[in-house]
Structure 1
Amino acid sequence: MDVVFEVTALILVVAVVRAAARRVGLPEPVLLLIVGVGLAYLPGFPDYRLPPELVLQVGLPLLLYAAAFTTWVPALRANARPIALMAVGYTLFTTVVVGYLAHLLVPGLPLAAGMVLGALVAPPDAVAAVAVGREAGMPRRVVAILEGESLFNDAAALTALKVAVAAVVGGSFGLGDAVGRFLLTSAGGLAVGWGVARLLAKVRARVENPMSDAMLSLLAPFLAYLPAEAIGASGLVSVVVTGLYLGHQAPRLMDAQARLVAHSFWQVIEYALVGVVFVVIGLRLPDIVAGLDRYSAGFLASVSVTVVAAVVISRFVWVFPAAYLPPLLSRRLRERDPAPPWQLPALVSWAGMRGVVSLAAALALPTTTAGGAPFPQRELLLFLTFVVIVATLLGQGLTLPALVRRIRPPVDDDAVHAEQETLAQRAAAAAGLERLDEILERENPPPEVVQRLRQQAERRLTLALAGGAEVEREPPALIYRRLRRQMLEAARARLVELRDKGELDQDAFVHVLREIDLEESSLVHDDRGRREVARGTRTTRSHR
């Protein structure tokens, strides 16, 4: 009964906080963290102790797979250079900078233990940055880079962490050996992920039941993670590769109903897991502080400020040269991808909030070395990791929207976006009509059926009319969706009325209601896209 109460209380907290975040005016991850810290000191509130292995081996593969499955692969390709430089180069750079600094600052801290701290705080958590950035009107390319970075930096950081922890536990640390092991485990993860992805693609292409496909989708991250870890490769790299491949191939592998189920399923998983972990991060504060009795307050404050400053400044030191040096050194690259306006690397530099991965990895640190000695200053490493998480989430998370307004980055061209949508709608409608003409050459369906099919295809062309319309005027497509939703509301109400009168059986009611819900969900999705365009346009005007 106690377990049921604790789980219910935690989920209720997450649901209430996420619902209140918009009204309060704070980003959801930031508010979840603040509430978690507050609840930690509330008498009688359950003491949640999520096993670190549960987060690292269950929660993180699920989150990474969900993010990878929905990632736009063409954006990854278009931004492959900056993403690789951030996900791998910046992660290792931060690990080394913070590691050496901690080794110099903290008396008696071995260099390998310093590298452990560096690897813990190296990977930014793009969940918070992207959530805040989208609301603030951050350019799409910055969001794409942050999302791509977050897919691979966790794997890079945790691979570096494994090497550093092994050095602490084993008592030796060699930079050449560390680099070799990092490359080997990453390459192994890529190979395993590619193999698992191809195998699962063949299996899922033959699965026709949407529920069975959803179960396979749930198993996919673990089918990628476990074999990679078993051979000493990076399980997280394997998960990311599998998710990217299967998500990109989903339109070919899955039918429409399976895609709807998978989309909703992963949305719920990601929504719940991220919320729970951010609250638990705050709830662990008392445990982390409890083991620091032997350190003075002045020492903790000075080391904390220095480490946080190193984490923040090292990102600027890496990002700006990474953005401007490659185009400067390569004419070919300069012609294909010229140096960006300074505002873009500035936003990427400031959007370096830490979160789930850092704390979970810190809590999973071993307590002793191979010889049975205590892990060097483990409590201090935990505390500094927590301080970096809180400082970046609150400091950068709360100021990122103001920074976007202040520096006025180049805004996305909404006309280009609308043009792309018009092109997509027209291409889809034309393909449908072409296939209908092919069918009519070999079949002779009733005229009313043909007329209805043509009307459905031409509806896409009607939606395309909104592409070039101005936001202030309600375009035809929006009028269509608004009126169609009102019609669907009336249809649903009549359906319920007939059910309540006992004039419909269950199968007929469920079938027709699902058709109405599917159509309305597509209209709601379209409306959200329009609102994002409108919000971006308003942001553009406020900048001007």
Structure 2
Amino acid sequence: MELFELVVAMLLAIIVLHFTAHKLGLPPAVALLTGGALFAFLPGLPVIELDPELVLVIFLPPLLMDGAWFIAIHSLKRHVIGIASLAVGSVVFTTVAVAAVAHWAVPGLPWAACAALGAIVSPPDAVSARAILQRVHLPRRLSILLEGESLFNDASGLVLFRFAIAAGATGAFSMVDALGSFALLSLGGAIVGAAIGAGWVMLAPRLEDKYLMIASSLLAPWASYLLAESFHLSGVIATVAAGLICGWYQHVVFSATVRMNSTAFWAVMIFLMEAFVFLLIGSSLRGVIERIGGFGVVLDEMAVPILAILAALTLARFAWVFGSDGVIRLVRLFGVRRYDPIGARSATVLGWAGMRGVVTLAVALSVPEGFPGRDFILVAAFAVIIGTVLIQGTTLGAVIRLANLEAPKNEPRHLSMSEAEAAMAQAQLAVVESHAHDADGAVIHPRLLDRYRHQAALSLDYAGQEEVHAGTLHAHFDLILKAVAAGRAELLRLHRNGEIDEETLQELEHDLDLEEMSALAAKA
């Protein structure tokens, strides 16, 4: 009961903190992290101890699945080199930089412990990236680089961490073995994830019931992660691979009704999971501080080295991003023009968007008892999370505004929303026209034919002329929304007066809800 009451209290805290962040214009992650830290030190509350394996297996698979489900695969393929550079190259470079600075700042810390710390704090977190990116607007290329990096970099960090721990235990390290292990873990994880994703695509439509289909989509990420980990492969890569396949095929697997229900379910679940992650991170501060002897020990013995490590990982990311952009500029001078530099402004934003989160904390907590420097590693990891979320998370929006980013001119040109709507309307009209007449040529669906002809004509007229028609369009849908509101009021009056039953109320209200959603979407 105490545990359940604590969960309910945390749910209340999430609602209050999210509302407060919205009113103050703060990123919710910042409010939740701060509120969780304050929550942890309230008198009478138990110390929250996180089981690192449990935290990873509960939160990471569905959050990775959700990111992979909606990512633009065409853009992912187009920028695969840049994503790999960030997800692998930047992680390795940052690990080395942090390890060197940690060894310099704490000379008594063994190199294996320094490398473990570097591997723990090097990969930016998928949850933190999502939480911040939802509140800012970026050019498509930068957005896909950050999204892709956050999906794949945990695999790099976890492999480096395992080798650092093994080196600390045995005193031996082989770069060849590390590279081979990374390739094996990644390839094997991708195969497992592809198998789970393909299985879901084939089996989900046969479930027929919408709730079973949605439940199967919830099972897929955990099945991928757990199966891959059971074979000692990368659960991260397996989950991402399954998510990419499921997201690509969900448009044909799900019906409209299932997709609407599924989207709503996943949106609420991911919202709660992300919120709980940041609240749990903040709430675990008390246990970490008490473990090493209190704030006094942190300030007296660890503050300067931790600040040096925070500066090192920040500067290392900037160095890698600007260095990679410089390499691209250099090879272009020799005639290799396949890749384009992102420019100093975009590189600044990309370098500043390096928030850490739940993976960093969970991996730090998994450092074995008795491992050299474990207490320092825990405190440093926690400080990195707080520092990056509070500093970079709160200022990233301002950095983006100051950078005044523009979309690259060589990005492939896509149809605008109105142009796509016009193409869709023409396809619908062609089908209606082909079935609107009987064998003698007489029109059998006159109103339907007029409706789709009118819609196709309006769509063609609107495409490319959005500003001209914006006022009329908004007034049109505003009137529809008023009509829907009037219909709903009358429906409720009939129900309250006992003139219709609950079933009629629910069915007709569902129709009104769909009409309202359609009008709001069209107006937007």
How does the TM-score come out when normalised to structure 2? 0.91
Report the Cα distance in structure 1 between the residues aligned to 2:3 and 2:194, rounded to whole angstroms: 39
Describe the SS at the equivalent of 1:205: helix
Report the alpha carbon displacement of residue 506 of structure 1 after superposing the two structures with TM: 3.1
Report the Cα distance in structure 2 between the residues aligned to 1:53 and 1:163, rounded to whole angstroms: 18
Task: Output the amino acid matched with 2:82.
Answer: P
Report the Cα distance in structure 1 between the residues aligned to 2:159 and 2:331, rounded to whole angstroms: 31
Report the alpha carbon displacement of residue 443 of structure 1 after superposing the two structures with TM: 8.3
CA contact (8 A) 1:87 1:149 kept: yes
2:92 aligned partner: 92
Structure 2 residue 269 is the aligned partner of structure 1 residue 269: yes
Residues 1:461 and 1:306: Cα distance change in structure 2 (over 3 Å): farther
Structure 2 residue 306 is the aligned partner of structure 1 residue 310: no
Describe the SS at the equivalent of 1:309: helix
Q: 1:369-380 alignment to 2 at 5 Å? A: 374-380=370-376
Report the Cα distance in structure 1 between the residues aligned to 2:159 and 2:512, rounded to whole angstroms: 48
CA contact (8 A) 1:465 1:476 kept: no
CA contact (8 A) 1:327 1:333 kept: no
Task: Output the amino acid matched with 1:493.
Answer: A
Q: 1:308-387 alignment to 2 at 5 Å? A: 308-330=310-332, 335-367=337-369, 374-387=370-383
Report the alpha carbon displacement of residue 220 of structure 1 after superposing the two structures with TM: 0.4
1:392 aligned partner: 388
Task: Output the amino acid matched with 1:155.
Answer: A
Report the alpha carbon displacement of residue 487 of structure 1 after superposing the two structures with TM: 1.6
Report the alpha carbon displacement of residue 250 of structure 1 after superposing the two structures with TM: 1.1
Higher mean C-alpha deviation, range 502-511 or range 461-470: 461-470
Report the Cα distance in structure 2 between the residues aligned to 1:356 and 1:28, rounded to whole angstroms: 15
Residues 1:325 and 1:216: Cα distance change in structure 2 (over 3 Å): same
Q: Cα deviations across residues 474-527 of structure 1 (Å, max 9, x unaligned)?
A: 444333332222221222222222222222233332222222223323444455
CA contact (8 A) 1:119 1:161 kept: yes
2:431 aligned partner: 435
Q: Cα deviations across residues 179-205 of structure 1 (Å, max 9, x unaligned)?
A: 221111111111111122112111123
Q: 1:172-251 alignment to 2 at 5 Å? A: 172-251=172-251
Q: 1:370-519 alignment to 2 at 5 Å? A: 374-410=370-406, 420-440=416-436, 451-452=447-448, 455=451, 458-459=454-455, 462=458, 468=464, 474-519=470-515
Gaps of 5+ in 2: none
Residues 1:459 and 1:167: Cα distance change in structure 2 (over 3 Å): farther
Report the Cα distance in structure 1 between the residues aligned to 2:452 and 2:268, rounded to whole angstroms: 31
Task: Output the amino acid matched with 2:374.
Answer: R
1:536 aligned partner: none
Task: Output the amino acid matched with 1:110.
Answer: P
Aligned pairs, number = 520
CA contact (8 A) 2:139 2:405 kept: yes
2:68 aligned partner: 68
Task: Output the amino acid matched with 2:504.
Answer: A
Task: Output the amino acid matched with 2:493.
Answer: E
Task: Output the amino acid matched with 1:48.
Answer: I
Report the Cα distance in structure 1 between the residues aligned to 2:383 and 2:460, rounded to whole angstroms: 50
CA contact (8 A) 2:129 2:147 kept: no
Residues 1:467 and 1:341: Cα distance change in structure 2 (over 3 Å): farther
Structure 2 residue 37 is the aligned partner of structure 1 residue 37: yes
CA contact (8 A) 1:429 1:458 kept: no
Q: Cα deviations across residues 92-119 of structure 1 (Å, max 9, x unaligned)?
A: 2212221233234324323222221111
Report the alpha carbon displacement of residue 256 of structure 1 after superposing the two structures with TM: 0.8
Describe the SS at the equivalent of 1:342: helix
CA contact (8 A) 1:201 1:253 kept: yes
CA contact (8 A) 2:37 2:285 kept: yes
Report the Cα distance in structure 2 between the residues aligned to 1:226 and 1:251, rounded to whole angstroms: 26
Report the alpha carbon displacement of residue 336 of structure 1 after superposing the two structures with TM: 4.3
Task: Output the amino acid matched with 1:401.
Answer: G
How does the TM-score come out when normalised to structure 1? 0.88
Q: 1:102-141 alignment to 2 at 5 Å? A: 102-133=102-133, 135-141=135-141
Cα RMSD after superposing both structures = 2.9
Residues 1:506 and 1:293: Cα distance change in structure 2 (over 3 Å): closer
Describe the SS at the equivalent of 2:224: helix
Residues 1:157 and 1:520: Cα distance change in structure 2 (over 3 Å): farther
CA contact (8 A) 1:65 1:240 kept: yes
Report the Cα distance in structure 2 between the residues aligned to 1:376 and 1:359, rounded to whole angstroms: 18
Describe the SS at the equivalent of 1:375: coil
Residues 1:43 and 1:458: Cα distance change in structure 2 (over 3 Å): farther
Structure 2 residue 5 is the aligned partner of structure 1 residue 5: yes
CA contact (8 A) 1:328 1:334 kept: no
2:167 aligned partner: 167
CA contact (8 A) 1:112 1:173 kept: no
CA contact (8 A) 2:436 2:445 kept: no
Higher mean C-alpha deviation, range 440-449 or range 165-174: 440-449
Report the alpha carbon displacement of residue 63 of structure 1 after superposing the two structures with TM: 0.7
Report the Cα distance in structure 2 between the residues aligned to 1:122 and 1:54, rounded to whole angstroms: 22
Report the alpha carbon displacement of residue 342 of structure 1 after superposing the two structures with TM: 1.6
CA contact (8 A) 1:27 1:128 kept: no
- Of all paired residues, the percent bearing the same amino acid is 34
Structure 2 residue 280 is the aligned partner of structure 1 residue 280: yes
Residues 1:163 and 1:438: Cα distance change in structure 2 (over 3 Å): farther
Report the Cα distance in structure 1 between the residues aligned to 2:334 and 2:213, rounded to whole angstroms: 45
Residues 1:116 and 1:465: Cα distance change in structure 2 (over 3 Å): farther
Residues 1:229 and 1:440: Cα distance change in structure 2 (over 3 Å): same
Report the Cα distance in structure 2 between the residues aligned to 1:407 and 1:237, rounded to whole angstroms: 33
Q: Cα deviations across residues 361-389 of structure 1 (Å, max 9, x unaligned)?
A: 2122222xxxxxx1212111010001111
CA contact (8 A) 1:466 1:476 kept: no
1:534 aligned partner: none
Report the Cα distance in structure 1 between the residues aligned to 2:184 and 2:22, rounded to whole angstroms: 44
